Amino acid sequence: MNFYLTAVLLGLGFASLALGIFISMRIFNIPDITTDGSFTFGGAITAILLVNHVSLPVIFLAAFFGGAATGAITGFIHTKLKVNALLSGILVMTALYSINLAVMQRSNIPLMEVSSVFSSFKLFQNELTQQFFVLIIFVILIWQLISWMLKTDFGLAMRATGNNESMIRALGVNSNRMKIIGLGLANGLTALSGFLITQIQGFADINMGIGIVILGLGSVMIGEIFSKTFRIRSIAIQLAFVIAGSIVFRLLLAFALSIGIDAIYLKLVVALFVLTIVSIPNLKLSRD
Amino acid sequence: MIELKHISKTYNRDSAAAVTALDDISLSLPEKSFTVVVGSNGSGKSTLLNVLAGTVRPDAGTILINGKDVTSLPDYKRSRWIARIFQNPLLGTSPELTVLENFRLASLRTQPKKFIIGTGDKFKKLVKEKINVLGLGLENKLDQPMGTLSGGQRQALTLLMAVMPGQMNAATGDGPGILLMDEPTAALDPKTSALILDISGRIINEFELTVLFVTHHLKDALNYGNRILSMSGGKIDLDLDQLAKSKLTLPEVYEWFE
């Protein structure tokens, strides 16, 4: 049972990343590979600051704004230097590998004997229950905040930017600036997942972000399947489904491991799984 | 008042495929004037509109709006004076946002988009009253995504969005609004086209807009506006005022295209 509870915890930890991918992929239509780097960046910042006993709120903000800066750089390269969005993300991700190593000073930082977001205020004796409680509160707060933001005038302008750029420029919005802010926000959220996951697993590793963008993408797509099935238009509920998608994705991976699939093949399973959800709607269409 | 002074624009300037879209155009459009532009494809009509809107930068010349030099202002900054109706009826609205949310953004054309929720009941009532005038029954679809409406319905709403209150009015010193219409009915059926033109006419009169209307429908070109320009090869061949325009006949206009 703990096996699946751990999967749920990871799902909650990656929920912030999934929301970030929702913003870059669904709101701005930009496949943002920066994610792989900004996730690790969030983890690296968290680990190095934790072992140096910096206070958690400061670490939290450092992780968010650090991630946001990487996204904003991708946005800048894409909009101002007119580089293809995918390539912009790959460039920043590649550069971040060195930056992350420089931040961490080595390829792995274990977090033994340091207090984390889960141990700073103890409510439950059971460690998993305590983690679950902290993560749930965190995810609900982020979910509420992003839902609210997307309903404000600024959020509407953000959604319209990805939806219809000529319209939103005709309505007085600098769409390039909006993309930079949007990618910044998306990667800030991603880095927050790095912040959480590092503390859940108890270490930061230079390779922790490899292929992580696919994980977010899969979560967003599972969320969309829910939204389509229930014909959901409310942005808040769509986001809730994305979070649910993140948990479901983790449970499916846990299931795959439990039926005896070798952990070596985990990324292969992830890729095949995302391929399946992406292609099913297309196959259905072509049959009609 | 819009003034274009010696505007030129050449696409692919340094290559063999260079195309002169605008060739030393000078033009002034007084406040509350309604100017129709006709011309064959490639005559420079759309470039003229885009240069005014700020989506295309001219190679030479200056653009003044109410005496202010806006030549180097990007499109999203000129939007405080200029509203656009695109040829593609889907380009004026955001499909995934609701009708109400689209109107909210339109009402903020000249203002910053802040972190406040502005789509409350008061605003809803205002939009409802606005849309009611159309008589299309759309006032009951405020919470539907714009993408669920037809092209004609969306074009009609785009027109209303161009004249949401609190923008482009004389009180804020921005002067009368400018409406750029680039073949707004080209993608619509005849009945919907007539409806869109009817709504345009009403809005233009009510809000005393300054209009530049590009069309391929020569009948519409004769029926609407108080001035007509004919363009070819990036130049204005003919510029007829209201009196001369009223004497025009359809066969005469057809001859311009021979």
Note whether residue B107 is domain-resident.
no
CA distance A116 to A51: 10
Domain span holding position B217 = 2-96+169-256
Chain A residues within 8 angstroms (CB to CB) of chain B? 148-149, 151-157, 159-160, 163-164, 166-175, 233
Q: Strands (DSSP E) along chain A, which ranges?
A: 108-110, 203-205
CA distance A256 to B94: 41
pLDDT of residue A287: 54
Q: Is domain A2-287 annotated with CATH 1.10.1200?
A: no
Chain-centroid distance, C-alpha A18: 4
Note whether residue B112 is domain-resident.
no
Note whether residue B50 is domain-resident.
yes
| Stretches in chain B below the pLDDT threshold 50 | 167-176
How many residue contacts between A and B have a Cβ separation below 8 Å? Answer: 90
pLDDT of residue B16: 83
CA–CA min distance A61, chain B (Å): 20
pLDDT digits (tens, 9 = 90+) for A147-199: 999 999 999 999 999 999 999 999 999 999 999 999 999 999 999 999 999 99
The structural domain count of chain B equals 1
Note whether residue B53 is domain-resident.
yes
pTM summary value: 0.91
Closest CA in chain A for residue B168: A171
Closest CA in chain B for residue A152: B117
Mean pLDDT of all residues in A76-82: 96
> A233 pLDDT exceeds 90?
no
pLDDT of residue B186: 87
Note whether residue B224 is domain-resident.
yes
Interface probe for A, chosen from B49, B76, B149 (most Cβ of A below 10 Å), is B76
Residue B37 · residue B253 · CB < 8 Å: no
Token pair recorded at residue B177: 């609004």
> HSE on the CB side for B225, CA within 13 Å?
30
Domains of chain A by residue range: 2-287
- CATH number, residue B176: 3.40.50.300
> What ipTM was reported for this prediction?
0.89
Note whether residue B156 is domain-resident.
no
Name the residue facing B113 among A157, A164, A166 (closest C-beta): A157
Maximum pairwise Cα distance, chain B:
58
A147 neighbourhood in chain B, CB within 8 Å: none
Amino acid at position A86, single letter: L
Q: Per-residue confidence at A267, pLDDT binned at 50, 70, 90?
A: confident
Q: Per-residue confidence at A96, pLDDT binned at 50, 70, 90?
A: very high
